[in-house]
Amino acid sequence: MDFMVFQYPMITVQACLDGILLGILFALIAYGMALQWGVMNIINIAQGDLVILGGYIAYFMYLYGIHPAWGVIVSPIIMYFVGVGIYKLVINKVVDRDLFISILATFGISILFMQLMNFAFGADVVLANSGYGTTFLFDNAVVLPNSKIFSAFISIVFAICLVIYMKKSKLGRAIRATAQNARAAKILGVDTEKVYAATFGINAALCGVAGALISITFTIHPYMGLPYTIRSFMIVIVAGLGNLPGVAMSGMGLGVFEEFADYILGTEFRIGSVFLLLVLILVYRRFKLSRKREYLK
Amino acid sequence: MKINKIILSFISAVAILLSTSVVSFAKVVGDKIVLGAAISLTGKYSSNGVHTQNGYNMAVDRINSMGGVKVGGKTYKFEIIYYDDESNPKRAAQLAERLISQDGVEFMLGPYSSGLTKAIAPVTEKYGVPMVEANGASRSLFTKGYKYLFAVLAPANLYLDVAIRTAVELNGGKGVRIAQAFEQDAFSQDVRLGILDAAKDTGSEIIIDDKLPKELNDMAATLVKVKQMKPDVLVVSGHTKGALTAIRQIAEMKVDVPMLAMTHCDAAKLSKQHGKNSQYALCASQWHKTLTYKDNFFKDGMTYAADFQKEFGYDPPYQSAESSAALLVFKDAFERANSFDQKKVRDALAATNMQTFYGNIKFAPGGQNVDKPMVLFQVMCDSSGKCENKVVAPLKWASAKLIHPIPKWSKR
């Protein structure tokens, strides 16, 4: 235990800012998960692996001399088709089946992706340098890498675009209609098969954006996907489906929580504390649910 | 139909025959000495696993082409049976079992990483199979009383010991304030123990002692503390990702620290991935090509590096060099034992005292190499941004002068 974070007020500010910037990025991944969970009732365990794959796209652009920030545009385009491909190959066979089956299927995809990425790109840890420099605040006491600020900014831009798209476009309306009632949507002429494929593609594209941002801010490695899946799962559980402000809030909350856990408990408990929080939230929700049920009785 | 069946049964009979004949002959077949190795060709250690395999292959080719191994007046050639352990300790132990009891291998080469060596050592020990390993440095390997395990590399606790002692020396013999961050794995924790010992010896104080998770990609918290507490030395060990993350975030957060010491820099290709940002970092290494050790097979480090580059197309990391050295040790031991008896070879290995291009090799009773110090190199860049690793400590091998303290970010 280390309470330095409370002794030096500037560290608290630093932790909060770091956490919020990080949380916005998490929220973007979580939003993709919430979208396809809500529409297709599928929990995508391979979410984190899609993120990492998106990161590799940006990394390869960087290797070939293109600034990795362009990955934010290129990566989602490629990932959209990857997502649609996965849907056509696997997901469409499990989409209206039991939730357990879809979890197993995406778990399989996750393992497959990990090994394929390891095979194709090697087990080296890699990163893409943006060369963005650093912002100093409060007389140099708080330091924010510009790459983190850039990540958060891009995440917000994409989230806003997506919200507008969902509200205004024809496909967006079809997706929302399918989420509300797939059967009714079908009867009214919505091609749900197409909607599902597009939803999965959009989710993969969001993962692609997040992956490109992660390769700029952190590091990527074929086996680093799972923590991102867990985080987005947790954010969605807390926020609920189809609740974007909720996803954003709980994303930032999780980011700040992680940073403080890092300072107080130590970096080794950072991911551990996320898992612990997940368990606590699940137990709490169950508890609340059972109370409600009793009340209904 | 009938003919098909006959052909089928014929083929299977031949197959069975072939497989049994391989089993019954495999230790020394004809003029071949067959060594076994489980190597991480897939999974998270696959890049270092490949370095290890390349090192082994390079030495096998070289020894074979230069006359092979002479035992009892006859010349033998090395051959290695490889299996992929998928970077998984359980799998590695199974494969060791399989190499020994099914393939009949009587001599083993080590896998990559301390963790996998730890998994294999009990198996080779059980069967009395001598194993020369080149990539397991964890101290705990050498305290279990293994009789058949020999490591050509220096144990993990010595990795960054030199750094602390150098810092103290530069501080006029007074203790320094150390900040450290280590991953939670066997290797890094051993490096940490080494630092604790060195700190105790030199009267240094450890002011930050952070542990890093396996899924590390953000160590901003540690660095904020470093900024606040201003230690004299920052030590980081967390495999490749630790080194990469540390350099990225130190540069981004403009953390000023007089000395930065790390492990796994060459595996991380630090200067290639980070360029000038990695400048002045001190890295612990088992070997560096500019060291002037010599042997008859690879001549010296520079020649080895050039030959390796020609064959595999990249500069050899120390993981390859030490793997090559393992074969030289085996050859030397076979010739001195003048026999393929496992006990005799084991005793000959224990009595090894030789110089290779990789360094001097002499085993302590625990099996670790006690005759080869670690070297520290510093990443140095010229004005055009081209970076190179230059050995700075110990002084005997130094090819450049240590730059200390590291210039502040505002002055770079």
Q: Do B405 and B261 share a structural domain?
A: yes
Flag whether residue A81 sits within 8 Å of chain B, measured between CB atoms: no
Do B132 and B165 belong together in one domain?
A: no
Chain B residue at shortest CA distance from A273: B213
A211-215, A244-248, B199-203: lowest mean pLDDT where? A244-248
Q: Bridge partners of B70?
A: B75
Burial class from Cβ neighbours inside 10 Å (0-12, 13-18, 19+) for residue B92 reads buried
Same domain flag for B253 and B266? yes
Q: How far is B304 from chain A (nearest CA, A)?
A: 24
Between B227, B253, B269, which is nearest A145 by CB? B253
Min Cα–Cα distance to chain A from B228, Å: 9
Nearest C-alpha of chain B: how many angstroms from A148? 10
Q: Is the peptide bond preceding residue B405 cis, with omega within 30 degrees of 0?
A: yes
Nearest residue of B to residue A127 by CA position? B273
Burial readout A32-64 (b: 16 or more C-beta within 10 A, e: otherwise): bbbbbbbbbbbbbbbbbbbbbbbbbbbbbbbee
CATH topology of domain A4-296: ABC transporter involved in vitamin B12 uptake, BtuC (1.10.3470)
Assess whether B182 and B251 both reside in one domain. yes
CA distance B241 to chain A (A): 6
Chain A residues with CB inside 8 Å of B228's CB?
4, 8, 11
Dump the DSSP string for B69-134. EEETTEEEEEEEEEEE-TT-HHHHHHHHHHHHHTS---EEE--SSHHHHHHHHHHHHHHT--EEES
Q: Yes or no: say if B372 and B359 are a contact pair by the CB < 8 Å rule.
A: yes
Closest alpha carbon within chain B to A1? B210
pLDDT of residue A240: 76
Those residues with Cβ within 8 angstroms of residue A114's Cβ, 6 or more apart along the chain or in another chain: A49, A222, A223, A225
3-state secondary structure of B149: strand
Q: Give the domain range for residue B396.
A: 158-285+374-411
Helix H or strand E segment including A263: helix A244-265
Chain B residues in contact with A262 by the CB 8 A cut-off are 218, 220-221
Concatenating the DSSP letter of every residue in A17-51 gives HHHHHHHHHHHHHHHHHHHHHHHH----TTHHHHH
Sign of the Cα pseudo-torsion (A219, A221, A223, A229, in order): positive
**Interface check A15 vs B, CB under 8 A:** yes
Are residues B89 and B73 part of one domain?
yes
- What φ, ψ does residue B143 adopt, rounded to 5°? -110, 5
Q: Is A115 on the interface with B (CB under 8 A)?
A: yes
Q: Find chain A residues with C-beta within 8 A of B274's C-beta.
A: 129
Q: B176 with B236, same domain?
A: yes
Which tokens go with A207? 């993962």
Let me know whether B162 and B272 are in one domain.
Answer: yes
- Is the pLDDT at A273 greater than 50? The verdict is yes
Instruction: Report the largest interatomic distance among the alpha carbons of chain B, rounded to a whole angstrom.
Output: 90
Q: Which residues of B touch A (CB under 8 A)?
A: 42-48, 87, 181, 184, 210-213, 215-222, 224-225, 227-228, 239-241, 244-245, 248-249, 252-254, 267-269, 273-275, 277
pLDDT in the model for residue B21: 44
Instruction: Break chain A into its structural domains and give their ranges.
Output: 4-296
Point out the residue among A218, A226, A269 whose CB comes nearest to the CB of B217: A218
* Count of the separate structural domains present in chain B: 2
Instruction: Report yes or no on B97 lying in a domain.
Output: yes
List the single residue in B with minimal CA-CA distance to A3. Answer: B225
Asked whether the beta carbons of residue B211 and residue A145 sit closer than 8 angstroms, the reply is no
B chain contacts of residue A122, beta-carbon cutoff 8 Å: 46-47
A284 touches chain B (CB under 8 A): no
State the virtual CA torsion across A81, A82, A87, A89 in degrees, nearest 10: 110
Query: Residue B87's Cα: distance from chain center in Å?
Result: 15
**Which residues, other chains included, contact A245 with Cβ-Cβ below 8 Å and sequence gap of 6+?**
none
Of A118, A136, A270, the CB nearest to B43: A118
Q: Does residue A143 belong to the interface with chain B, where contact is any CB pair within 8 Å?
A: yes
CATH number, domain with residue B101:
3.40.50.2300
pLDDT averaged over chain A? 85
Q: Decide if pLDDT at A78 tops 90.
A: yes
Within a domain: residue B10? no
Exposure string of B16-54, with b = 16+ CB inside 10 Å and e = fewer, is eeeeeeeeeebbbeeebbbbbbbbbbbbbbbbbbbbbbb
Answer yes or no: do B181 and A267 touch at CB < 8 A: yes
Mutant choice from A124, A134, A216 vs B, greatest count of B C-beta within 10 A? A124
- The sign one gets for the Cα dihedral A264, A268, A271, A273 is negative
- The answer to whether residue A135 neighbours chain B at the CB level (below 8 Å) is no
CB within 8 Å: B220 and A18: yes
- Partner residue opposite B222 with nearest CB, options A14, A223, A267: A267
- State both tokens at B217: 């990609």
A162-173 exposure pattern, b = at least 16 Cβ within 10 A, e = fewer: beeebeeeeebe
Contact B244 A218 (CB under 8 A): no
Backbone φ and ψ for B32, nearest 5 degrees, come out as: -115, 135
Pairing label, strands B32-39, B299-300: unpaired
Distance, CA of B125 to CA of B147 (rounded, Å): 7
CA distance A190 to B25: 69
At residue B11, the pLDDT reads: 65
In Å, how far are A114, A115, A122 from B44, measured between CA atoms?
A: 10, 9, 8
Buried/exposed A86-103: b ≥16 CB within 10 Å, e otherwise: bbeebbeebbeeeeeebe
A293 pLDDT exceeds 70? Answer: no
Q: Would you state the structure tokens that stand for residue A201, as one six-digit string? A: 């593609």
Of A143, A224, A268, nearest to B253 by CB-CB distance is A143
What DSSP element (H or E) covers B148?
Answer: none
Structure confidence at residue B289 (pLDDT): 86
Give the residue on A whose Cα is nearest the Cα of B183: A268
- Beta strands B282-285 and B375-381 are antiparallel
How big is chain A, counted in residues? 297
* Spatial strand order in the sheet of B387-393: B205-212, B177-183, B233-237, B259-262, B282-285, B375-381, B387-393
Q: Mean pLDDT for each 10-residue chunk of chain B (412 residues)?
A: 64 56 55 91 84 93 91 90 90 92 91 90 92 89 90 88 88 89 85 90 89 77 86 88 87 88 80 81 87 88 92 89 93 91 91 91 90 87 82 81 84 78
d(CA A203, CA A210): 11
Q: Are residues B297 and B251 in the same domain?
A: no
CB B180 within 8 A of CB B167: no
Decide if B332 is inside a domain. Answer: yes
pLDDT digits (tens, 9 = 90+) for A118-143: 888 877 788 888 877 777 877 777 88
Q: Do B218 and A22 touch (CB under 8 A)?
A: yes
- Helix, strand, coil shares, percent, chain A, to 5: 80, 5, 20
What would the DSSP string read from start to end of A83-151?
HHHHIIIIIHHHTTS-HHHHHHHHHHHHHHHHHHHHHHH-S--B-------EEEETTTTEEEEHHHHHH
Q: Is residue B8 part of a domain?
A: no
Q: What is the pLDDT of residue B402?
A: 85
**Shared-domain flag, residues B266 and B384:** yes
Question: In chain B, what residues touch A12 (CB-CB under 8 Å)?
Answer: none
| Contact residues on chain A for B217, CB-CB shorter than 8 A | 214, 218-219, 224
In a domain, B136, yes or no: yes
**CA closest to A131 among chain B residues:** B252
CB contact under 8 A, B217 and A224: yes
CA A165 – CA A170 distance, rounded (Å): 9
Top-ranked range on mean pLDDT: pick from A237-241, A293-297, B89-93, B275-279? B89-93
The residue of chain B nearest to residue A269, with distances taken between CA atoms, is B213
Is A297's pLDDT higher than 50?
A: no
In a domain, B277, yes or no: yes
Residues B243 and B335 in one domain: no
Q: Are both B218 and B335 inside the same structural domain?
A: no
> Which residue, B35, B106, B70, is CA-closest to B327?
B35
pLDDT tens-digit map of A16-53: 888 899 899 999 999 999 888 888 888 889 999 999 99
DSSP annotation of B263 reads S
Which candidate in B217, B253, B278 is best for mutational testing of the A interface (most A CBs within 10 A)? B217
Same domain, residue pair B142 and B226: no
